[in-house]
């Protein structure tokens, strides 16, 4: 998976497809799936292994994250995850991406509860 920004994009984070995320989950590289939705959304349905850190708490808690980890930000439609990826990139995270389309486009396994 490439964590390089898309050609012509002004942002410094990558935008990846749900299929690319599903493939990356199966590799041996450590991957942080950062779910930036609300706790209720997270409980409703989430990617297996995703870590919840609501976007409302990100500015106060981003130091809990490893800036060297491959981090994919996830939300419901892809808007909050873009904001989260941009914020993390500004904090020095160089291997950060957002999943295009969010969980509504995710066709991989989900956990509930």
Collapsing DSSP to helix, strand or coil, 93 comes out as: coil
For 27-58, the DSSP string reads SSS-EEEEE-S-HHHHHH-B-TTPEE--HHHH
Report d(CA 108, CA 85) in Å as an integer: 21
Farthest-apart Cα atoms in the chain, separation: 40
Q: Which of 75, 85, 88, 99 is catalytic?
A: 75
Is there a catalytic annotation at residue 75? Answer: yes
As annotated, the active-site residues are: 75
């Amino acid at each position: 998976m490439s964590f390089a920004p898309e050609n012509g994009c002004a942002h410094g984070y990558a935008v990846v497809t749900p299929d690319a995320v599903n493939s990356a989950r199966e590799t041996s590289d450590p991957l942080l799936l950062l779910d930036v939705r609300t706790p209720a959304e997270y409980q409703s349905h989430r990617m297996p292994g995703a870590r919840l850190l609501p976007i409302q708490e990100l500015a106060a808690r981003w130091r809990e994250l490893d800036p060297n980890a491959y981090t994919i930000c996830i939300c419901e439609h892809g808007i909050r995850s873009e904001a989260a990826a941009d914020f993390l990139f500004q904090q020095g995270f160089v291997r950060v991406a957002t999943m295009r389309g969010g969980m509504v486009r995710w066709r991989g396994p989900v956990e509930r509860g």
